[in-house]
Amino acid sequence: MEFKIAVIGLGYVGLPLAVEFSKKHNVIGFDINKTRVSELNKGIDETLEVTEEDLKSVLNKEKIGLKITDNKEDLANCNIYIVTVPTPVDINNRPLLTPLIKSSQTIGEYLKKDDIVIYESTVYPGVTEDVCAPILEEVSGLTFNKDFTCGYSPERINPGDKKHTITKIKKVTSGSTPKTAEIVNNLYASIITAGTHLAPSIKTAEAAKVIENAQRDINIAFVNELAKIFNKLDIDTQAVLEAASTKWNFLPFKPGLVGGHCIGVDPYYLAQKAQEVGYHPEIILAGRRLNDSMGEFVASDFVKLMLNKGKEVKNAKVLMLGITFKENCPDIRNTKAIDVYKSLKSYNIDVDVYDPWADTKEVEEEYSISLVSDITHKYDGVIHVVSHNEFNKLDLAKFKKEKAVIYDVKGTLNVSIIDKRL
């Protein structure tokens, strides 16, 4: 079977996938964002997941290569469709399947007999076969598992991670029929050097993905709760964890802000499905509540530190280091750094935000924050929220000499300079 692949959604997940597949197959990369499509066709990837060299090396080749487009008619001749659109939650933390539904509707317009639609987006068990497949049927007029089939291979991209890149992360695969499962597994095995794991069913693969992030969320929630307890006991949490980590089977999680598009969202998908079948998940939702509370806790702890150091809080000038959801990554989606910022502002603190990784325009549009590029001002306090490598090179001793209170959320700064760490 000769594959002509369409990758729907060219964000942090879709673009690296499209580039890898286009080294061996004819690939159409489709995205509805015209600006994104235009930039990618120039070799510019603002997510920094793919280098300009790699992108340009596969673009618009005559045979094997990648064509990036926002014209859905370019999908007409494809026989493998891979969906990598986001799966967010709404304001009430309920799964928002709109991007997935619209993508399925678009594919349905061009779906042909024997085509395969593979979903990579994180969902709760059952979405592929119970939500997406019926949409494909309705729009195309074809019958699921007779005229076309589906696969599910959950994405495992870690934004900003240059060590665990797409080909180096083992891939879980599955299919709605045994034949499709084999085709999907072989397809991914052709580009994933780390290997593949063929799950027995699509629902199994969906469940495996959603618990990966839920597990991490719960483990971080545990150490965040420890941080709150040890804060009241006046014990350094990081020092406790360092001591406990000397045991071979202690899990080395650290306290902090849990945001981003995956860990801060995916547990709600599993919780929603659990509630639909009559089970109220206690640990999963408790972990989410605790992690969601950390931004306010960090801000209040920082304010208490300032007061203890004799600083006037109202109208204080504070420098906040970082706004992205994680270190060395430009992604600001669902960043919990914004919770720290809003909480600090609620104390009538004048907050400057400095982040060399974040896009100034994007931060302005999303959060109405104007990032600063000049941090030579005198500050009453500095709060280290995101551990970008650049922050380890800053002359924090200068701020210390000027009597600034320095609070380290990430626990990565030199302990001789900081006043407290989470």
- Domains of the chain, residue spans: 4-199, 293-422
Residue-level pLDDT at 242: 95
For the chain (422 residues), the mean pLDDT of every run of 10, in chain order, is 93 95 95 96 92 90 88 96 94 92 97 97 96 98 98 89 88 98 97 97 96 94 97 95 96 91 88 94 95 96 96 96 94 94 97 96 95 92 95 90 94 91 92
Inter-CA distances, 400 with 188, 349, 392, 396, Å: 52, 19, 15, 6
Contact criterion met (CB below 8 Å) for 11 and 84: yes
Q: How many CA atoms lie within 13 A of 278 on its CB side?
A: 0
Cα separation, 318 vs 335, in Å, equals: 19
According to DSSP, the residues that pair with 173 across neighbouring strands are 198
Question: CATH classification of 293-422 is 3.40.50.720, yes or no?
Answer: yes
Give the 3-state secondary structure of residue 114: coil
Structure tokens at 105: 């509707």
Task: State how far the Cα of 132 lies from the Cα of 83, in Å rounded to an integer.
Answer: 11
SS3 411: coil
Alpha carbon separation from 422 to 195, 251, 302, 406 (Å, rounded) = 38, 18, 9, 11
Q: What distance lies between CA 269 and its chain's CA centroid? A: 15
Specify burial of residue 16 (Cβ count, 10 A radius: 0-12, 13-18, 19+).
Answer: buried
Helix (H) or strand (E) holding 71: none
Long-range contact list for 15-18, CB < 8 A, 24+ apart?
15/40, 15/45, 15/47, 15/49, 15/50, 16/49, 16/50, 16/157, 16/165, 16/166, 17/82, 17/84, 17/120, 17/155, 17/166, 18/66, 18/68
**Would you say 318 and 378 are in contact if contact means Cβ atoms under 8 Å apart?**
no
**Rounded alpha-carbon distances, angstroms, from residue 15 to 44, 115, 185:** 11, 22, 20
Residue 69 phi, psi (nearest 5): -150, 160
What is the structure's pLDDT at 61?
A: 77
**Cα three-residue angle 257-51-357, rounded to 5 degrees:** 35
Q: For residue 259, give both structure tokens.
A: 């945001």
Local structure of residue 131 (DSSP, 8 states): I
Answer yes or no: same fold for 4-199 and 293-422. yes
Cβ-contact 412, 238 below 8 angstroms: no
* R_g over Cα of the chain: 23
Instruction: For residue 219, give the nearest of 265, 261, 250, 260 by alpha carbon.
Output: 250
Whether pTM > 0.95 for this model: the answer is no
Catalytic residue of the set 78, 132, 150, 262: 262
The residue type of 284 is I
CA atoms of 119 and 338, how far apart (whole Å) = 31
Q: Which CATH class is domain 4-199?
A: alpha beta
Please confirm, yes or no, whether 78 is among the known catalytic residues.
no
Count how many residues are written for the chain: 422
> Quick one: 179 exposed, middle or buried, by C-beta within 10 A (0-12, 13-18, 19+)?
exposed
